[in-house]
């Protein structure tokens, strides 16, 4: 659930100076050479550090977002994938621990993963990525998460709607319209999930988009499992689809060609692609609204403070209600 903002989470990283970052690394025995580069991250704060042993990444977790137990479970899942030689950035272990604390900040260290932006339209790229996801999901299906969240309509839908209505970003003249349109969309999403009840939830990446993907000489590398969750397999597949209906059908066929070499796929899940897209649309607006007092968010998303954005957004939500009823992608 997205909690309402409080004074404690408006500027949670104010005291995270470069000196504190370097001291935090030293506190767990990581050697550093003074090189420090801030990396692009909104939810957490992430830094690249130089060291005699090679580049490291230090990730400082936003306070109150995840519990220690939830972060530990993320780390164990990532380590499990890495032990199976899957291309993920696994946290560095020091004295049997991967989550550390320095002053009021919780952080973890990761290896620096070299790679470039993926080009999924390159020959066989989607098949290769599909094979990687199939292998990840085979491990994800071995056991459930105990404390990580679920991909569901309550957390990503109804709670998100509540957050937008409780926030200050949504213009007052549009509040009633947002309430009615989002409610109609959520009712249709709920119906779609009920119609496909029985789809199995497994451990998944949860936020599998191009920004969390690198590509090196050996293929794809997934660099951030911060949103790993229990959910349907298709949640990790649909965000790699873009363009016209025919283009998405081709992309889907290529992904499945690779995926099914390592994992089975329940084709009822195809019916969940547009409902899941609807939940992401709702949750993204709520996420930015919730974080708006964090100075990083107005700088990154200035258009969310404009009424014309919200008018267009409401139009997109209305269109999504109809899109859910469009024919789904076929098997191949």
CATH number of domain containing 248: 1.10.510.10
For residue 118, being part of any structural domain is answered with no
For residue 1, being part of any structural domain is answered with no
Please indicate, yes or no, whether residues 103 and 150 belong to a single structural domain of this protein: no
Separation between Cα atoms, residue 82 and residue 247, nearest integer Å: 33
pLDDT exceeds cutoff 60 at 124? yes
pLDDT exceeds cutoff 60 at 180? yes
pLDDT exceeds cutoff 80 at 1? no
Please indicate, yes or no, whether residues 157 and 304 belong to a single structural domain of this protein: yes
Please indicate, yes or no, whether residues 12 and 76 belong to a single structural domain of this protein: yes
pLDDT exceeds cutoff 80 at 112? yes
Please indicate, yes or no, whether residues 258 and 135 belong to a single structural domain of this protein: yes
Contact between 151 and 230 under an 8 Å Cβ cutoff? The reply is: yes
Please indicate, yes or no, whether residues 107 and 156 belong to a single structural domain of this protein: no
Contact between 80 and 45 under an 8 Å Cβ cutoff? The reply is: no
Going by pLDDT thresholds of 50, 70 and 90, the confidence category of residue 331 is confident
Q: Average model confidence (pLDDT) for the chain?
A: 93
Which of the 8 DSSP states describes residue 303?
G
- The predicted-structure confidence for 134-145, as pLDDT tens digits, reads as follows 999 999 999 999
Residue 256 contacts by C-beta under 8 Å, 6 or more apart in sequence?
130, 265, 331, 332
The CATH number of residue 97's host domain is: 3.30.200.70
Q: List the catalytic residues.
A: 207, 224
Contact between 64 and 27 under an 8 Å Cβ cutoff? The reply is: no
Number of domains observed in the structure of the chain: 2
Going by pLDDT thresholds of 50, 70 and 90, the confidence category of residue 6 is very low
Residue 46 contacts by C-beta under 8 Å, 6 or more apart in sequence?
38, 39, 40, 57, 58, 59, 60
Residue 30 contacts by C-beta under 8 Å, 6 or more apart in sequence?
49, 51, 56, 92, 94, 109
Cα-to-chain-centroid distance, residue 53: 30
Contact between 111 and 123 under an 8 Å Cβ cutoff? The reply is: no
Q: Looking at residue 190, what is its pLDDT?
A: 97
Going by pLDDT thresholds of 50, 70 and 90, the confidence category of residue 7 is very low
pLDDT exceeds cutoff 90 at 314? yes
Cα-to-chain-centroid distance, residue 291: 16
Average pLDDT of the segment spanning 250-263: 96
- Using DSSP's 3-state secondary structure scheme, residue 295 falls into coil
pLDDT exceeds cutoff 70 at 332? no
For residue 330, being part of any structural domain is answered with no
Please indicate, yes or no, whether residues 51 and 187 belong to a single structural domain of this protein: no
For residue 105, being part of any structural domain is answered with yes
Pick from 225, 221, 211, 207: nearest CA to 74: 225
Please indicate, yes or no, whether residues 206 and 255 belong to a single structural domain of this protein: yes
For residue 331, being part of any structural domain is answered with no
For residue 148, being part of any structural domain is answered with yes
Please indicate, yes or no, whether residues 282 and 312 belong to a single structural domain of this protein: yes
pLDDT exceeds cutoff 90 at 323? yes
For residue 116, being part of any structural domain is answered with no
Separation between Cα atoms, residue 222 and residue 214, nearest integer Å: 6
- Using DSSP's 3-state secondary structure scheme, residue 215 falls into strand
Going by pLDDT thresholds of 50, 70 and 90, the confidence category of residue 208 is very high
**DSSP result, 149-209:** -B--HIIIIIHHHHHHHHSSSS-GGGHHHHHHHHHHHHHHHHHHHHHTTTPPPEEE-S--S
Taking residue 211's Cβ as centre, other Cβ atoms within 10 Å add up to 12
Please indicate, yes or no, whether residues 129 and 107 belong to a single structural domain of this protein: no
Taking residue 213's Cβ as centre, other Cβ atoms within 10 Å add up to 22
For residue 44, being part of any structural domain is answered with yes
Contact between 24 and 102 under an 8 Å Cβ cutoff? The reply is: yes
Q: Compute φ and ψ for 205, nearest 5 degrees.
A: -60, -50
The pTM score is 0.92
Please indicate, yes or no, whether residues 270 and 182 belong to a single structural domain of this protein: yes
- The predicted-structure confidence for 209-240, as pLDDT tens digits, reads as follows 998 999 998 899 998 999 999 999 999 999 99
Domain that holds residue 102: 7-111
Q: Looking at residue 223, what is its pLDDT?
A: 86
Separation between Cα atoms, residue 228 and residue 35, nearest integer Å: 30
Contact between 314 and 178 under an 8 Å Cβ cutoff? The reply is: yes
- The predicted-structure confidence for 31-64, as pLDDT tens digits, reads as follows 888 899 999 888 999 999 998 878 899 999 999 9
Q: Looking at residue 202, what is its pLDDT?
A: 98
Average pLDDT of the segment spanning 76-90: 95
């Amino acid at each position: 659930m997205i909690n309402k903002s409080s004074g404690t989470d408006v500027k949670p990283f104010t005291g995270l100076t470069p000196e504190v970052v370097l001291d935090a690394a030293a506190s767990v025995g990581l050697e550093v050479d003074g090189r420090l580069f801030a990396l692009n991250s909104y939810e957490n704060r992430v830094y690249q550090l130089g060291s005699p042993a090679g580049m490291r990444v230090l990730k400082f977790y936003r306070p109150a977002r995840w519990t220690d137990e939830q972060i530990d479970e993320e780390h164990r899942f990532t380590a499990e994938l890495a032990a199976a030689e899957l291309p993920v950035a696994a946290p560095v272990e020091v004295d049997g621990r991967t989550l550390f604390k320095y002053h009021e900040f919780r952080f973890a260290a990761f290896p620096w993963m070299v790679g470039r932006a993926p080009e999924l339209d390159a020959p066989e790229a989607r098949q290769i990525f599909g094979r990687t996801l199939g292998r990840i999901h085979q491990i994800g299906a071995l056991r459930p998460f105990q404390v990580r969240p679920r991909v569901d309509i309550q957390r990503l839908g109804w709670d998100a709607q509540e957050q937008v209505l409780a926030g200050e970003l949504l213009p007052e003249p549009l509040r009633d319209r947002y309430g009615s349109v989002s409610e109609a969309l959520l009712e249709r999403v709920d119906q779609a999930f009920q119609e496909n009840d029985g789809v199995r939830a497994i451990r998944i990446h949860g936020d599998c988009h191009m920004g969390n993907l690198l590509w090196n000489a050996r293929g794809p590398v997934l660099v951030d499992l911060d949103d790993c969750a229990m959910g349907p397999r298709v949640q990790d597949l649909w965000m790699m689809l873009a363009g016209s209906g025919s283009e998405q059908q081709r992309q889907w066929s290529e992904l499945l060609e690779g995926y099914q070499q390592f994992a089975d796929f329940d084709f009822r899940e195809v019916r969940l692609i547009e409902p899941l897209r609807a939940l992401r649309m709702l949750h993204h607006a709520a996420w930015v609204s919730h974080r708006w007092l964090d100075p990083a968010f107005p700088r990154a998303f200035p258009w969310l403070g404009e009424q014309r954005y919200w008018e267009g957004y409401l139009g997109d939500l209305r269109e999504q209600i109809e899109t859910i009823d469009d024919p789904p992608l076929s098997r191949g």
